[in-house]
Amino acid sequence: MIRVTITGVCGRMGRCITQGVVQEVDMQLVGAIQYPGHPQIGSDVGVVAGVDEIGVSVTGELEDVLESTDVVIEFSKPEATVEHLQQVVNADKAMVVGTTGFSLNELSTVEELASQIRCVMAPNMSLGVNVMIQALELIAKALGDDYDIESIETHHNRKADAPSGTALRLTEAIATALGRDLAEAGVYGRYGITGTRPQQQIGTHAIRGGDIAGDHTVLFATEGEQLSVVHRSHNREAFAKGAIRAARWVVDAPKGLHDVSEVLFQNHR
């Protein structure tokens, strides 16, 4: 039985992951973490998630439950993730990190800490999105420099970061496949007299509105034709399923920082 703790458990993703974990026959939810002072601290996490009581209360301290935990699924704020990751390293447990919006300094710290344990980290846990990344790498290599590349992402109006971590991951994969430096080739939105589009440019555009779970479109366009690769999330269930699959995989993984592509294409269990 894999013993799971979820952070950010009262958020939309946390509730969805809770619903998924309690249905898994080989998993047991042993910890439910939300920031200290949250009004639902002390509540049964099953009730918070909209399912039956499961006898696990929401708490504000990850350290209190780490001893009885095999893997932590982390969907919280960047600063909280850094703190939680340090605690997981100290306890030598496994972790799945789906938090986005890290600063460069935070990301460097997270990667250094994650390398010390068994950790899967990705800005999008959807299995479909991670297959999309693989496909985009192949398409970019096949089409080469003759196609203009634009990425459009759409999310709900409460999303804090833009572009989304997923959009950045998609364009990073494309830039790497084409041998481009995204720091130089990337452009984020356009306004005013921008002039002729540079051939090496990779554009990214963020749209915010309503309750959209997440849409990502990558457009390859040239004279006479265009090719679009599209992923649409109808709800957060796909993200939850991917995070749960990653949690099952990582408990037996070698120590180090792993990508979701390893979860998809390596089967060591």
Q: Give pLDDT tens digits for 215-252.
A: 999 999 999 999 999 999 887 888 899 899 999 999 99
CATH of domain 2-121+236-265: 3.40.50.720
User: With 90 as the cut, is the pLDDT of residue 82 above it?
Assistant: yes
Judge whether 155 counts as a catalytic residue.
yes
User: With 80 as the cut, is the pLDDT of residue 100 above it?
Assistant: yes
Name the burial class of residue 166, with classes exposed (0-12), middle (13-18) and buried (19+) by CB atoms within 10 angstroms of its CB. buried
User: What pLDDT shows up at residue 260?
Assistant: 83
Q: Are strands 148-155 and 214-222 parallel, antiparallel or unpaired?
A: antiparallel
Interatomic CA distance for residues 238 and 44, integer angstroms: 24
**Which letter does DSSP use for residue 44 in this model?**
B
This prediction's pTM: 0.78
Structure tokens at 237: 């269930």
Strand partners, 71: 4, 94
Domain ranges of the chain: 2-121+236-265, 127-233
Q: What mean pLDDT do residues 148-154 have?
A: 98
Q: Which is nearest to 96 in space by CA: 193, 13, 167?
A: 13
Interatomic CA distance for residues 148 and 144, integer angstroms: 10
Interatomic CA distance for residues 32 and 6, integer angstroms: 5
155, 216, 231, 258: which one is catalytic? Answer: 155
Helix, strand, coil percent content, the chain, rounded in steps of 5 = 40, 25, 35
The helix/strand/coil state of 170 is helix
Q: Per residue in 9-28, pLDDT tens? A: 999 899 999 999 999 999 99
38, 93, 141, 159: which one is catalytic? Answer: 159
pLDDT band at 267 (very low <50, low <70, confident <90, very high): low
* 124, 125, 127, 131 alpha-carbon torsion, rounded to 10°: 40
Average pLDDT taken over every residue of the chain: 93
Backbone angles phi, psi at 234, to 5 degrees: -80, -25
For the packed helices 104-114 and 78-91, what is the interaxial angle rounded to 10 degrees? 20
Q: 127-233 has which fold?
A: Dihydrodipicolinate Reductase; domain 2 (3.30.360)
The helix/strand/coil state of 263 is helix
User: What pLDDT shows up at residue 234?
Assistant: 85
Q: Are the CB atoms for 200 and 145 separated by under 8 Å?
A: yes
DSSP 111-155: HHHHTTSEEEE-S---HHHHHHHHHHHHHHHHHGGGSEEEEEEEE
